[in-house]
Amino acid sequence: MSNPSGNHHAPASQGGIGQSVLRKEDALLVTGRGTFSDDRNLPGQAYGAFVRSQHAHGRIVSIDTEAALAMPGVLAVFTGEDLVQAGQQPQPLGVAAPTRDGSPMRWPRWRAMATGKVRHVGEALALVVAETSQQARDAAAAVAVDIEALPTVTTAAEAVGPGAPLVHEDFAGNVALDFHFGDTAAVAEAIASAAHVTTLPIVSNRIVVAAMEPRSSLAEFDAESGRYTLYHACQGAYGSRDVVAHMLGVEPARVRILTGHVGGSFGMKAHPLPEDLCILHAARETSRPVKWTDTRTDSFLSDPHGRDHDMTIELALDEQARFLAIRIGGCGNIGAYMTQGAVFPAAINQMKNTPSVYRTPLLEVNTRCVFTHTAPVGAYRGNGRPEANYYVERVIDTAAAELGIDPVELRRRNHVRPENLPYESAGKQLYDSGDFPGVLDDALKLADWDGFGERRRQSEARGLLRGRGVGQYLEVTGAPGREMGGIRFEPDGTVTMLTGTLDSGQGHASAFTQVLVSHLGIPFDRVRLVQGDSDQLAGGSGTGGSKSLVASGRAFIEASAKVVDAGRQIAAHELEVAAGDVRFLDGRFTVPGTDLGIGLMELAARLHGGLDLPDHLPRTLDVTHLHDGVPSAFPNGCHVAEVEIDPQTGATRVVRYSIVSDFGTVINPMIVAGQSHGGVAQGIGQALMEHALYDEEGQLLAGSFTDYALPRATDIPPMRIGDHPVPARTNPLGAKGCGEAGCAGALTSVMNAMADALRPLGIERIDMPATPQRVWRAIRDARAAAAA
């Protein structure tokens, strides 16, 4: 296992690529001086509070705002009809996916507030604006809503059944997307002729994202210029601007998005959500800045949720236990409306990610994205990638058990090996790099896989079951998107970097600066990063799909090259030599063989001081660069988990955890380790604890942190970290992206360990979340069956 530092080609400048540089933003954040959305206030601001539906499905008979309007401090009350009359549009169409019959994809209208019908508990019905937040909330309680309740459906399996109530009248069978990928006949043939087929029904439980910062927005409208400003937490100011402009029906130039610190997002704040549009409308109508901050109680109901799949995966193997084909089918519950990326988790990302690190020649995906009367499902850490890896790793372990083969050996037999690269997967992804067998070997060593027997004996001596599980994974990062790399040399001797990705805790400011330090030799402390101001951006696809570093990193590398080009010409003029004689190294332009030279920062200072340059030379070193996208990368790794189960109570603890990753070139090992830790914690949460369960009437049963089990410090084990980096060949950094990988490794390793611990009792299947009650029932039932 090598340390990831040392992979970079640039000189080892202070704060350059590969160093665990501390984060620039932390000095503010540890002293309480961060600027989260709710920390911002504007003079004269009013406050918004929402009236939300308590019914999962119903016809809006009336919304009586009279009493609320008469309450102290109330400025206005708005409903969905007001937004329609003002010309506000529904959410723009999101990402399309191919449909089974080739027909174009359709989207239902998702308006910022309900009109006609409500479709999930928590859907916004009215916005009250008042002088104080307390007055707004008092008045919201006085809005009288009359809803005629209609039948509800909350699970995908029921929603596609005969006679199920329709969420949207024009979507028969509640199917938003009937997705198909693969050669049906070839896969059927492979399965029919296989020596062995393992079939595993499997679920990905619904998750409440629960970023610790509740959503909050502050909207302002300037009547003179006709411009809207929205201060809000998101994952990309440029893209958010376009969504807001579309919904308001104005030119994008009339919208400005300003984002400060974002208190976690994980996909949930990926695009503007209904409340943002409501307060923008209110700001215009009341001629006041309007602020709204969600309560946690409401955020459980109205933030987009994550996951929620009900699948069956089949793996066909030949006599030598080589994989022949994988067929995966089932439903993704996407809730009442379609978020912008609703087709990813259950459809597109199943196609891309299911093949993982294995040579499986054939893949078929048959999944339906299904409407239900539940909160819309959006992106959540990995957005289908962890699930695809989870499904395939679980079916591999199940097949190994059925065939009596060591699960590690079964993986080794089927790996895509380094000599197979480049390799096109059955999901049509061209893997460029990686050492999958080596990653597995390193993980087993780090985990002391061979010492498990002794540890199990010790657990058994204490009356506990112990299991171990491997979770090897490969993720296909987000699709290519335009990204900006702006570099501005300021008069005060600092450098501003501008890009359209957006940090919500990933430490972009230091990581991106490290790229600039290595490529331009600019001192680390002189650089600041601007992401959260759409007015300063010329483009950007935002953060998502673990692609920020690769996307912004390439943009800054290419922008740096432009800086050097311009700088070389100006330096040549200043040094009175030919441009071709000037070289750039470690932040200096020099002329080999002479003592002539000038630093980049000095050149920038001279330009600000005013240089008399001939017309053909550039006048500035500033660069606004846009690229059209970086190919997806393939971060991969292997996690090994060990669990202990108390068979009397079903309580489970993850007691050992090891991580080996191939994230390609690592820019900042400290930050990358933190991303792994956090992803693993979220994965353990989904595997063992978290479940956003609705009842049949569409009420969320786990509607607060007292009912919804978010992992606490005692629920998460210490993690060992190792690295096995193989730089990517498809981007100039060699990076692969690390943000979502932790979940992929954790779901798989933890649940394989659960199955390993429970298998001796005759338990064939255990689903997430493997809560104490669920585990206890499985053990009780297995013992009863054994006794019978």
97-136 residues in contact with other proteins (CB under 8 A) are 133-134
Closest CA to 54 of 136, 134, 141: 141
Nearer to other proteins, 33 or 59 (CB): 33
Nearer to other proteins, 265 or 531 (CB): 265
Nearer to other proteins, 261 or 547 (CB): 261
Edge-first strand order for the sheet with 465-474 is 465-474, 636-645, 652-662, 720-723
Among positions 10, 39, 106, 417, the unique one binding other proteins when judged by CB under 8 A = 39
Closest CA to 276 of 292, 265, 259: 292
When asked if residue 677 is in the footprint of other proteins (CB under 8 A), the reply is: yes
Residues between 243 and 262 that touch other proteins (CB under 8 A): 261-262
Residues between 490 and 509 that touch other proteins (CB under 8 A): 504-507
Q: How far apart are the C-alpha atoms of 776 and 650, rounded to whole Å?
A: 4
Work out how close the CB of 738 gets to other proteins at its nearest, in angstroms, rounded to a whole number.
Answer: 13
Residues between 693 and 752 that touch other proteins (CB under 8 A): 693, 701-702, 704-710, 712-714, 716, 718-719, 742
* Secondary element (H or E) of residue 309: strand 309-317
When asked if residue 33 is in the footprint of other proteins (CB under 8 A), the reply is: yes
Closest CA to 179 of 312, 313, 344, 365: 365
Residue 542 near residue 277 (C-beta atoms within 8 A): no
Among positions 58, 263, 635, 727, the unique one binding other proteins when judged by CB under 8 A = 263
CA angle 590, 596, 599 (to 5 degrees): 55
Work out how close the CB of 731 gets to other proteins at its nearest, in angstroms, rounded to a whole number.
Answer: 24
Residues between 136 and 195 that touch other proteins (CB under 8 A): 137-138, 140-141
Work out how close the CB of 696 gets to other proteins at its nearest, in angstroms, rounded to a whole number.
Answer: 14
Compute φ and ψ for 362, nearest 5 degrees.
-125, 140
CA angle 255, 258, 261 (to 5 degrees): 160
Residue 603 near residue 631 (C-beta atoms within 8 A): no
Residues between 264 and 283 that touch other proteins (CB under 8 A): 264-266
**Total site size for other proteins, rule CB under 8 A:** 79
Residue 311 near residue 201 (C-beta atoms within 8 A): yes
Work out how close the CB of 602 gets to other proteins at its nearest, in angstroms, rounded to a whole number.
Answer: 29
Nearer to other proteins, 652 or 665 (CB): 652
Nearer to other proteins, 355 or 505 (CB): 505
Nearer to other proteins, 138 or 574 (CB): 138
Among positions 1, 10, 12, 25, the unique one binding other proteins when judged by CB under 8 A = 25
Nearer to other proteins, 223 or 461 (CB): 461
Work out how close the CB of 27 gets to other proteins at its nearest, in angstroms, rounded to a whole number.
Answer: 7
When asked if residue 14 is in the footprint of other proteins (CB under 8 A), the reply is: no
Nearer to other proteins, 591 or 681 (CB): 681
Q: How far apart are the C-alpha atoms of 638 and 412, rounded to whole Å?
A: 13
Nearer to other proteins, 729 or 777 (CB): 777
Interface map 449-488 toward other proteins (x if CB under 8 A): ----------------------------------------
Interface map 207-236 toward other proteins (x if CB under 8 A): ---xxxxx----------------------
Nearer to other proteins, 109 or 777 (CB): 777
3-class secondary structure per residue, 683-750: HHHHHHCCCCCECCCCCECCCCCCCCCCCCHHHCCCCEEEECCCCCCCCCCCECCCCCHHHHHHHHHH
* Secondary element (H or E) of residue 190: helix 184-192
Alpha helices (H) in 61-145, listed in sequence order: 66-69, 80-85, 133-140
Among positions 2, 6, 27, 70, the unique one binding other proteins when judged by CB under 8 A = 27
- List Cα–Cα distances, 227 to 245, 250, 363, 576, 592, in angstroms: 10, 9, 50, 49, 53
Which sign, positive or negative, has the C-alpha torsion 281, 285, 286, 287? positive
Residue 384 near residue 350 (C-beta atoms within 8 A): yes
- In terms of C-beta distances under 8 Å and separation of at least 24 residues, what long-range contacts does 26-35 make, across chains too? 28/261, 29/261, 34/260, 34/261, 35/260, 35/261
Residues composing the chain: 788
Work out how close the CB of 26 gets to other proteins at its nearest, in angstroms, rounded to a whole number.
Answer: 4
Residues between 352 and 371 that touch other proteins (CB under 8 A): none
Nearer to other proteins, 294 or 397 (CB): 294
Residue 313 near residue 326 (C-beta atoms within 8 A): yes
The pair of structure tokens assigned to 660 is: 């080996």
Query: Which listed range, 29-37, 238-246, 424-432, 518-526, lies at the site for other proteins (CB under 8 A)?
Result: 29-37
Nearer to other proteins, 682 or 731 (CB): 682
Q: How far apart are the C-alpha atoms of 470 and 393, rounded to whole Å?
A: 8
Across-strand partners of 498?
486, 530
Among positions 1, 12, 22, 197, the unique one binding other proteins when judged by CB under 8 A = 22
Query: Which listed range, 92-100, 206-214, 307-315, 323-331, lies at the site for other proteins (CB under 8 A)?
Result: 206-214
When asked if residue 781 is in the footprint of other proteins (CB under 8 A), the reply is: no
Give me the numbers of helices (H) and strands (E) for the chain, helices first please: 20, 28
Nearer to other proteins, 332 or 505 (CB): 505
The pair of structure tokens assigned to 760 is: 């001796």
Cβ burial of 249 (10 Å; 0-12, 13-18, 19+) is: exposed
Q: How far apart are the C-alpha atoms of 770 and 763, rounded to whole Å?
A: 13
Among positions 551, 671, 744, 758, the unique one binding other proteins when judged by CB under 8 A = 671
Nearer to other proteins, 600 or 692 (CB): 692
When asked if residue 772 is in the footprint of other proteins (CB under 8 A), the reply is: yes
When asked if residue 761 is in the footprint of other proteins (CB under 8 A), the reply is: no
Q: How many C-beta atoms lie closer than 10 Å to residue 104's C-beta?
A: 7
When asked if residue 77 is in the footprint of other proteins (CB under 8 A), the reply is: no
Work out how close the CB of 172 gets to other proteins at its nearest, in angstroms, rounded to a whole number.
Answer: 33
Among positions 680, 741, 747, 755, the unique one binding other proteins when judged by CB under 8 A = 680
End-to-end CA distance of the chain: 50
Residues between 276 and 315 that touch other proteins (CB under 8 A): 293, 295-297
Work out how close the CB of 191 gets to other proteins at its nearest, in angstroms, rounded to a whole number.
Answer: 38
Residues between 606 and 665 that touch other proteins (CB under 8 A): 646, 648-649, 651
Work out how close the CB of 22 gets to other proteins at its nearest, in angstroms, rounded to a whole number.
Answer: 6
Residues between 45 and 64 that touch other proteins (CB under 8 A): 49
Compute φ and ψ for 17, nearest 5 degrees.
-60, 135
Among positions 36, 171, 423, 449, the unique one binding other proteins when judged by CB under 8 A = 36
